[in-house]
């Protein structure tokens, strides 16, 4: 029987599937700590604005009045930072009631907050803070360029887990429905539930994996 046909009909009898199972198992074991770190820090950064508002309430003052024009904010920021170059201005949002501007000067990158009504500069986020540490841990693993390389390797490992997991999950053409069936009578921590989650989680994990391996080493700075 042709190997492809054998895999489609009786996947457990194919050597490649057994080999990929070992790859999936050991890559998962070796990558577990990395995945925990990026998952926990990534989840925490979803609330970064709320953390910043709690720590620096003076930088997130919600003024009442008509929204200032972006040009006005740009001029105020340029006046306050004549040496730097303004690389972007973000309008206020529901969670962040102030304008957000980015100023670069050489190797320095500053995140500026400006009043939503007057456009006046309220201040800048500190270089060293809880949120910045979380970002550096999430994007660079607190190791600068070396950390970004490791993060790229970790992203590749995650992609490998997704691809090998899909191959391992395939139950065979005659039993394909069982691949989407969960036996709720089995224990909570059960290999079968993990198997059912594979095809559902793989598409969702593809995008963050691609972003993790992105060659743009400085893209995370604007994340502040």
Q: Report pLDDT digits (tens) over 165-224.
A: 888 888 888 777 766 666 666 665 555 555 555 555 555 555 555 555 444 445 455 555
Asked if residue 136 has pLDDT above 80, the reply is: yes
- What phi and psi values does residue 28 have, to the nearest 5 degrees? -65, -40
Q: Let me know if residue 30 belongs to a domain.
A: yes
Q: Let me know if residue 115 belongs to a domain.
A: yes
User: In terms of domains, do 13 and 43 share one?
Assistant: yes
Q: What is the pLDDT of residue 12?
A: 80
Q: What is the pLDDT of residue 215?
A: 46
**Tokens standing for 29?**
């074991």
Q: Which CA distances in Å does 71 have to 106, 113, 135, 197? A: 24, 15, 29, 49
Asked if residue 32 has pLDDT above 70, the reply is: yes
Q: Let me know if residue 131 belongs to a domain.
A: no
Q: Let me know if residue 22 belongs to a domain.
A: yes
Contact 175, 168 (CB under 8 A): no
From 90, 124, 158, the end of a domain falls on 124
Residue with tokens 């290999």: 191
**Tokens standing for 35?**
């995945």
Biggest alpha carbon distance in the chain? 75
User: In terms of domains, do 42 and 68 share one?
Assistant: no
pTM, entire model: 0.71
Percent of the chain residues past pLDDT 70, beyond the cut: 78
Does residue 172 come out as left (phi exceeding 0), alpha (psi in the -120 to 50 range) or beta?
left
**Contact residues for 120 (Cβ-Cβ < 8 A; gap 6+):** 76, 114
Higher pLDDT, 153 or 199: 153
Asked if residue 7 has pLDDT above 90, the reply is: no
**Contact residues for 198 (Cβ-Cβ < 8 A; gap 6+):** 162, 165, 166, 168, 169
Asked if residue 82 has pLDDT above 90, the reply is: yes
Structural domains counted in the chain: 2
Distance, in Å, from the CA atom of 2 to the CA atom of 18, rounded to the nearest integer, reads: 17
Q: Let me know if residue 133 belongs to a domain.
A: no
Q: What is the pLDDT of residue 55?
A: 92
User: In terms of domains, do 85 and 118 share one?
Assistant: yes
User: In terms of domains, do 61 and 37 share one?
Assistant: no
pLDDT band at 122 (very low <50, low <70, confident <90, very high): very high
User: In terms of domains, do 151 and 189 share one?
Assistant: yes
User: In terms of domains, do 64 and 104 share one?
Assistant: yes
**Range scoring the smallest mean pLDDT among 19-33, 117-131, 151-165, 166-180:** 166-180
Q: What is the pLDDT of residue 189?
A: 56
Asked if residue 133 has pLDDT above 60, the reply is: yes
At CA 152, angle to CA 147 and CA 153, rounded to 5?
95
Residue with tokens 């080999």: 19
Q: What is the dihedral of CA 75, 69, 124, 222, to 10 degrees?
A: -100
Asked if residue 51 has pLDDT above 90, the reply is: yes
Quick count: other Cβ atoms within 10 Å of Cβ 197? 13
Q: Let me know if residue 158 belongs to a domain.
A: yes
Distance, in Å, from the CA atom of 182 to the CA atom of 174, rounded to the nearest integer, reads: 17
**Range scoring the smallest mean pLDDT among 7-11, 160-164, 216-220:** 216-220
User: In terms of domains, do 17 and 71 share one?
Assistant: no
Q: Let me know if residue 130 belongs to a domain.
A: no
User: In terms of domains, do 68 and 115 share one?
Assistant: yes
Highest mean pLDDT among 9-13, 51-55, 103-107: 51-55
Q: What is the pLDDT of residue 96?
A: 94
Quick count: other Cβ atoms within 10 Å of Cβ 179? 15
User: In terms of domains, do 90 and 152 share one?
Assistant: no
Of 142, 107, 108, 144, which Cα lies nearest the Cα of 127?
A: 108
Asked if residue 2 has pLDDT above 90, the reply is: no
State which residues form the domain around 68: 57-124
User: In terms of domains, do 42 and 66 share one?
Assistant: no
User: In terms of domains, do 184 and 151 share one?
Assistant: yes
The predicted model gives 131-139 an average pLDDT of 93
Residue with tokens 């999950």: 169
Residue with tokens 């069936």: 181
User: In terms of domains, do 73 and 35 share one?
Assistant: no
Q: Let me know if residue 222 belongs to a domain.
A: no
């Amino acid at each position: 029987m042709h190997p492809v046909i054998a895999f489609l009909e009786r996947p457990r009898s194919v050597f490649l599937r057994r080999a990929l199972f070992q790859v999936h198992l050991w890559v998962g074991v070796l990558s577990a700590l990395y995945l925990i770190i990026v998952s926990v820090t990534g989840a925490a950064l979803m609330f970064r604005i709320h953390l910043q508002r709690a720590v620096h309430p003076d930088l997130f003052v919600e003024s009442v009045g008509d929204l200032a024009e972006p040009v006005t904010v740009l001029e105020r920021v340029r006046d306050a930072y004549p040496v730097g170059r303004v690389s972007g201005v973000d309008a206020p949002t529901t969670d962040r009631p102030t304008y957000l501007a980015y100023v670069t000067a050489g190797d320095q990158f500053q995140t500026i907050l400006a009043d939503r009504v007057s456009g006046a500069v309220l201040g800048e986020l500190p270089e060293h803070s809880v949120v910045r540490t979380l970002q550096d841990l999430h994007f660079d693993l607190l190791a600068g360029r070396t950390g970004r390389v490791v993060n790229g390797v970790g992203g590749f490992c995650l992609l490998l887990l997704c691809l090998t997991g899909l191959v391992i999950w395939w139950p065979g053409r005659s039993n394909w429905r069982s691949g989407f069936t969960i036996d709720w009578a089995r224990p909570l921590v059960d290999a079968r539930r993990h198997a059912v989650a594979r095809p559902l989680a793989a598409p969702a994990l593809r995008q963050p994996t691609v972003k993790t391996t992105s060659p743009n080493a400085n893209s995370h700075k604007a994340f502040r």
